[in-house]
Structure 1
């Protein structure tokens, strides 16, 4: 498990952080809040029944919604307790435990979505390896979409900032070309100096 992720998760939500995380979004949904921005964003990029990898799936919120929309989805996360919550909520879906920096699923996807500040929460020194493995699991002509905070206001706990330029460079080194960027999962244009980014990268056909 990512030491950085586990430390920050416990720091912000306690030892039962996986259940707390799942419950937080259940309560938001019950109030009528839209908790499916990432899945809606994906649906605007590729039509079902495309094959989608939810990389860093956590408790499965995004993957479950993508399945409901008709996508063939696999969820993977390094944290077994988060994956256990996902399995409990949707036992019929394909959930796997895996470290993004060493991911080897022996299959490729039309789109890989990396939400939930997954990239900044990687352990130090593993961004390049993670981007390489994300690229390896993206089909030719496919897309990787990653959303993450660029300042302390948009990151959990004391998670350090991973500059967008570092992510762009790691994706490029992995063979993924930058395509576009937005400031939110609802598609607002990105402005330099903003606190959050959703960036897309494409593997050549």
Structure 2
């Protein structure tokens, strides 16, 4: 049995957590805040009409933007409330409720592998620690041989960058480029954020 994600543990402790998260981003969008920096980054590295998996898509801000500029997007999140919001706010992509640790999109009739897999918004720090390698392995299984996985998360979230890179290696992924921000600044030992572009080993 797969351990419950840290996100769903938060939801269990506070049933209003998902709705708060959704409304927070809706308010930011109404205020004109820039919510698509990660998506612009992915779009810049993607050929037109790429097949992109938004892994841990939340309410859909990244995948929604990528679909709006012409990519074929599938978004997956473990939280059905977030997926419902994604369907409402960002029609176009295929939004699915699923656990990344058990992800098998072929069972949903999606047999194509992806050019790019993006996991923004600290997703890797919300999966259950015991499933981290399993999650990365499932992402690797859905990636084209020449594809890239783009994973970003902040420091201070109980997941050291060195451990993440070791876990990625165990999952069959190797770094292609490491950055410290979504606006393409170099990664260094004292960076407080990591954007890792990974390729199949």
* TM superposition score normalised by structure 2: 0.89
Matched, 1:150 2:155: yes
1:135-159 deviation per Cα after TM superposition (whole angstroms, max 9, x unaligned): 00001100000001111xxxxxxxx
Give the structure 1 partner of residue 93 of structure 2: 93
Between the aligned partners of 1:48 and 1:21, the Cα distance in structure 2 is: 31
Count of residues in Structure 1 that have an aligned counterpart in Structure 2: 194
Give the structure 1 partner of residue 43 of structure 2: 43
Task: Compare 102-111 and 24-33 and name the one that shifted more.
Answer: 24-33
Structure 1 counterpart SS, 2:125:
coil
When the two chains are superposed, the root-mean-square deviation of aligned CA atoms in Å is 1.7
Between the aligned partners of 2:120 and 2:92, the Cα distance in structure 1 is: 22
CA contact (8 A) 1:18 1:59 kept: no
Matched, 1:189 2:186: yes
Structure 2 counterpart SS, 1:119:
helix
Structure 1 residues 133 and 38, CA, compared in 2 at 3 Å: closer, same or farther? same
Between the aligned partners of 1:118 and 1:100, the Cα distance in structure 2 is: 10
Give the structure 1 partner of residue 131 of structure 2: 126
Structure 2 counterpart SS, 1:126:
helix
Unpaired segments ≥5 residues, structure 2: none
Q: Offset of 1:42 from its aligned partner? A: 0.1
Give the structure 2 partner of residue 2 of structure 1: 4
Unpaired segments ≥5 residues, structure 1: 152-159
CA contact (8 A) 2:72 2:93 kept: no
Matched, 1:199 2:162: no
Task: Compare 26-35 and 36-45 and name the one that shifted more.
Answer: 26-35
CA contact (8 A) 1:118 1:148 kept: yes
Give the structure 2 partner of residue 117 of structure 1: 122
Give the structure 1 partner of residue 82 of structure 2: 82
1:56-85 deviation per Cα after TM superposition (whole angstroms, max 9, x unaligned): 001111110001111100000111111111
CA contact (8 A) 2:178 2:195 kept: yes
Q: Offset of 1:188 from its aligned partner? A: 1.6
CA contact (8 A) 2:132 2:167 kept: yes
Between the aligned partners of 1:138 and 1:188, the Cα distance in structure 2 is: 25
Between the aligned partners of 2:10 and 2:19, the Cα distance in structure 1 is: 15
Structure 1 counterpart SS, 2:152:
strand
